[in-house]
Amino acid sequence: MIVDVAIVAAKSVLVLVMVLNLAGMLGWVERKASALIQDRIGANRASILGFAGLGLINTMVADPVKFLTKEDFIPPQGDRFLHTLAPCMALFPALVTFAVIPFGDVLVLGDRVINLQIANLNVGILYVFAMASFGVYGIVIGAWASNNKFSLLGGVRGSAQMISYEVAMGLSVVGVLMVYGTLELQEIARGQGALIGEVLPQSLRFLKPAIGWLPAWGIFLQPLAFLLFFTAAIAETKRVPFDLPEGESELIAGYHVEYSGGKFLMFFAGEFAEIVTAAALTTTLFFGGWQVPYLMRDGFHFPWGTVWLLPQIAVVLMQVGAFALKVVFFCWLQILIRWSVPRFRYDQVMRLGWKMLLPLALVNVIITAIVIVAVQ
């Protein structure tokens, strides 16, 4: 009993620390990446007590210290309580979503089998959407409690945008759920361990020499769903090209214009935690999660027949490493997109969400259903 609790606590702390650290590092990566893209040098002047030797680490330490020591200003006409609550509500959903994201298969220690996922809920992906829908409050409440018209406009834009794209995001995932036949993220990740050659129905066997060697990842079985999901996920993080709630050229900083110090840091960290969450979900649903191609529980089984046996601990380490690598890649991709494209107009954001993503997601669901019924 106590050991079980300790294992869950250890997993939670591990995941939380990893996500927060990655979010913190992304803050630095974003500055350097934007500098790289715009042909600048970027943040390079953080000197702590006269020592500027370790560029990355110095900036990473200096940033939060600067935020935390700044004055925390609450607008006198604003709502003290809700103004303080809002940043917590912005950060909370992004962090708790990780409870259902699997970061490895199972770790066998003696007679104990540890599932490398904090909570194995049978509602799986629905929990993710429930938490995502909770994210709107941080923006709306923060915007309202600031008693500032720019904030309120940002909050209204943000809530409308997030609700709209949640619909498209939810529908885009339905195709994936149909293909793998489960809501549990761990099962979806396991289902992607097979090869396409193994899951091909009898009627499509002639395709086996051409594509049979590919792993049955979501990206190969549901390519359209991936594009829809990733677009909607970027919109949910409220970053360029979907940064209308912030819109610095129109709304100064939108919903967090009246925030400073530690509370602004929480909004900031929440945004980067959302990037990590979006990357982890994309990885889990479409890129095999923790799967390494051809790596089974006992080692590599290549489609041409070669088998490399590996000890269990090496397999687990490779799986966790593969998951981390994929997540970092998708974080990088999101930062790249953010600095490569201009902002949409608000009517374009709404049109893209409701008139393009939503119908395409519905079409994807219908086609997936027809194909599944036809080949069975």
Cα–Cα distance between 94 and 278 in angstroms, integer? Answer: 9
Which residue's CB is nearer to another protein, number 177 or number 196?
177
- Contacts with another protein by CB under 8 A lie at 79, 81-82, 85, 121-123, 126-127, 129-134, 136-137, 140-141, 144, 152, 155-156, 159-160, 163, 166, 183
In the complex, the smallest distance separating the C-beta of residue 75 from another protein, rounded to whole angstroms, is 15
Return the exposure string of 262-295: e unless at least 16 CB atoms fall within 10 Å of the residue's CB, then b.
Answer: ebbbbbbbbbbbbbbbbbbbbbbbbbbbbbbbbb
Which residue's CB is nearer to another protein, number 126 or number 240?
126
Which residue's CB is nearer to another protein, number 129 or number 300?
129
Q: Tell whether omega for the bond before 241 is within 30 degrees of 0, i.e. cis.
A: yes
At residue 238's C-alpha, the angle toward residues 236 and 241, to 5°, is 110
Which residue's CB is nearer to another protein, number 156 or number 199?
156
**DSSP assignment string, 132-158:** HHHTHHHHHHHHHHTT-HHHHHHHHHH
In the complex, the smallest distance separating the C-beta of residue 145 from another protein, rounded to whole angstroms, is 8
Which residue's CB is nearer to another protein, number 152 or number 295?
152
In the complex, the smallest distance separating the C-beta of residue 140 from another protein, rounded to whole angstroms, is 5
In the complex, the smallest distance separating the C-beta of residue 178 from another protein, rounded to whole angstroms, is 13
In the complex, the smallest distance separating the C-beta of residue 124 from another protein, rounded to whole angstroms, is 9
With contact defined as beta carbons under 8 Å apart, do 252 and 150 qualify? Answer: yes
DSSP code, position 242 = S
List the one residue out of 168, 154, 90, 193 whose CA is nearest residue 353. Answer: 168
Which residue's CB is nearer to another protein, number 129 or number 344?
129
Cα–Cα distance between 90 and 266 in angstroms, integer? Answer: 8
In the complex, the smallest distance separating the C-beta of residue 61 from another protein, rounded to whole angstroms, is 35
